[in-house]
Chain A
Amino acid sequence: MSTSTNILNIKNIEVTYDNVILALHDVSLKVPKGKVVALLGANGAGKSTTLKAVSTMLASERGKVTKGTIEYDGTSIEKQNPSQMVGLGMVQVLEGRRCFGHLTVEENIIAGAYSRKLSKGDINQELEKIYTYFIRLKERRKSQAAFTSGGEQQMIAVARAMMAKPKMLLLDEPTMGLAPQLVAEIFNIVKELNQKEGVSILLAEQNTNVALKNSDYGYIIETGRVMLDGTAQSLLSNDQVKELYLGISKKGRKNFRDVLKEESLTKKKIN
């Protein structure tokens, strides 16, 4: 993949929190323009940290990229802040939805257009367009966001991000705590946004199976390192992924690293 076709290019980044806690050791990944890339791994593997490093939201949690580079749309993001990143077309949907609870559904979505200079008419036009993807939200536009369901809140969060007219979306666990039917609904919307609006997507998920089925490419990270990557198809049929992340296994539960260790041991034996 040449750099021009990648909207996002992360090279060997290391991230520390509070100058001491090493959260990412060495993560490299690429997101080709117009594609959906899944970032998979368990709790604490570094998925959220990676996304926050990209959106520059790390600073607000006293985190810092201490090594490596992140290039977005051909330029380094090193000196940017979150609102500048939004201006450049990169919007993150934070983990846990984070709706503005006291605002109505519609106010939440309109707030997403804050960084753009739009007239009232333009905003209404954009809103109508957004509502075509999130039909459910249109019905609930006047309710207070805090009183909507978890699935609706996730939709609000994505709709809000879309109002900023992003070229790239970072979705942090969009299906967390949602019923399977809603998980499918959210992913359908994400797919649709990707295809119709041409938004490139990097999503962090624990729901490996659904995430890979809806992505083009996948990265698996564990304890701050990329352990495996490949096309979504190849990962879905990969034995190790099947065993560790999809729960299809004949043996007991194992750590990914143990599997690699076993592998290298068997290789040594053969040699």
Chain B
Amino acid sequence: MVEELLFFMEVLVGGLLAGTMYSLVALGFVLIFKASATFNFSQGAMVFFSVLAFVGFMQDFNIPFVLAFILAALLMVVVGLCTERFVLRPLMNASEDTVLMATIGLGYVLEGLAQAAWGVEVRRLDLGIGDFPVPWIADNLKLFISALDITAGLVAAIMIIGLFLLFKYTKIGLGLRAVADDAGAASSIGIPLKHIMLLVWSAAGVVALVAGCMWGARAGVQFALVDLALKALPVLIIGGFSSIPGAIIGGLIIGAVEKVLEVYIGPFFGGAIEGWAPYVLAIFFLLYRPEGLFGEKIIRRV
């Protein structure tokens, strides 16, 4: 009995921690959704682009780890800058759908650029953190939990705290929340939309880089990272598109649910339900709580 419970705990904790990896990807979507009310289809490409550049700097130019990371982060700020200047600004007064389509195009451009610059083969990313159970935890708690999962959890926690502080206590954070509520009113009182866009896209780029590092370390830096972003969709539906805590909790739920279901119910379906179980959960949320757990309810005075 005790062993069964331990096994369940292991599955659950493993799932939760793996979920933080989804949270990291979802975080990037939330940032952009908050500012431009658009689902950024290029987020997956940004993950791929940023981490491939990071690995490329290290492996092709022998740049040390930390410096390469900073360079890649700066590169994502430049990508944000270019996106604002060449995609968003010309579409400033266009409808949200138009911007949505533009992000799909942007995704292809980033994918192409990344592969043109760094090649198409799968690269290994070594963060110096192994994807194997931590011996200390395995010995003392009898739980087998991957060190990479724990790191991802910590990184996600740090990022959410950082972003929370940025939004709550800085001037530009206030500006961002104002734009998220009513972009027209924000510009009427002199909040420059382009600064906010620049901030959001750069922040989303850096978040993409961090998420890419975690996933790249686990699965290798490869084109499949682009599709990984799709996993963020159920996360966002459950957590709410406009909520940062929602992205985190949504990721945890998806991570835990898919692992638990896979282990306990999977065998009845012949396994591999991990792939679609999150989407089923997302459908239930769409039916009964479309704004997600933490999404901002649309407040209307009646």
Which residues from chain A sit less than 8 Å from chain B, CB to CB? 55, 57, 59-62, 82-83, 85-87, 91-94, 98-103, 107-108, 110-112, 114-115, 144, 146-147, 150, 157, 160-161, 163-164
Nearest-CB distance from B177 to chain A (Å)?
6
Cβ-based interface call for B283 (8 A): no
Contact for A91 among B171, B188, B299, CB less than 8 A: B188
Taking a contact as CB atoms under 8 Å apart, the answer to whether A94 and B185 are in contact is yes
| A residues in contact with B192, CB < 8 Å | 83
Q: Which residues of A contact B171 (CB under 8 A)?
A: 114
Given the interface pairs A60-B184, A94-B184, A147-B299, the reply to whether A103 lies near B177 with Cβ below 8 Å is: yes
Most chain A beta-carbon contacts within 10 A, residue among B92, B181, B186, B296: B181
Instruction: Please indicate the chain A residues that have their CB under 8 angstroms from the CB of B178 in the complex.
Output: 100, 103, 108, 111, 114
**Min CB distance, B89 to chain A, in Å?**
11
9 A-B Cβ contacts within 8 A?
A57-B188, A62-B93, A83-B192, A86-B188, A86-B190, A94-B185, A101-B299, A102-B180, A115-B191
CB-based nearest B residue for A55? B188
CB of B174 within 8 Å of the partner chain: yes
3 nearest A-B residue pairs (beta carbon): A86-B190, A115-B190, A98-B185
Q: Which residues of chain A come closer than 8 Å to B187, judged between CB atoms?
A: 57, 60, 82-83
A86 to B92, CA, bound (A): 19
Question: Which of B180, B190, B192: most chain A Cβ within 10 A?
Answer: B190
Q: Across the two chains, which residue of chain B brings its CB closest to A144?
A: B299
For residue B191, which residue of chain A has the nearest CB?
A114
Complex contacts, B191 vs chain A, CB 8 Å: 83, 111, 114-115
Question: Which of A103, A150, A163 has a CB less than 8 Å from the CB of B181?
Answer: A103
Q: Which residues of B contact A61 (CB under 8 A)?
A: 93
Identify the B interface with A (CB < 8 A). 92-93, 171, 174-175, 177-178, 180-182, 184-192, 296, 299, 301
Contact of A164 among B181, B189, B296 (CB under 8 A): B189
Structural contact, A114 and B182, CB atoms closer than 8 A: no
Q: Which residue of B lies closest to A62 (CB)?
A: B93
Complex contacts, B175 vs chain A, CB 8 Å: 111, 114
CB <8 Å contact, B189 and A115: yes
Residues A107 and B184 in contact, CB atoms below 8 Å apart: no
Instruction: Tell me if A98 and B182 are in contact (CB < 8 A).
Output: yes
Bound together, the chains give a CA A107 to CA B178 distance in angstroms of 9
Chain A residues whose CB sits within 8 angstroms of the CB of B188 once the complex forms = 55, 57, 82, 86, 91-94, 98, 161
Report chain A residues within 8 Å CB of B181: 100-103
Report whether A146 and B184 are in contact in the complex, using a CB–CB cutoff of 8 Å.
Answer: no
Given known contacts A98-B182, A100-B185, A102-B181, what 4 new A-B pairs fall within 8 Å (CB)?
A82-B188, A92-B188, A114-B191, A164-B190
A135–chain B nearest beta-carbon distance, Å: 22
Is A82 in contact with B190, judged by CB distance below 8 angstroms? yes
- CB-based nearest B residue for A147: B299
- In the complex, the answer to whether B190 meets A91 with C-beta atoms within 8 Å is yes
Least CB distance from A176 to B in Å reads 13
B190: chain A residues at CB < 8 Å are: 82-83, 85-87, 91, 114-115, 164
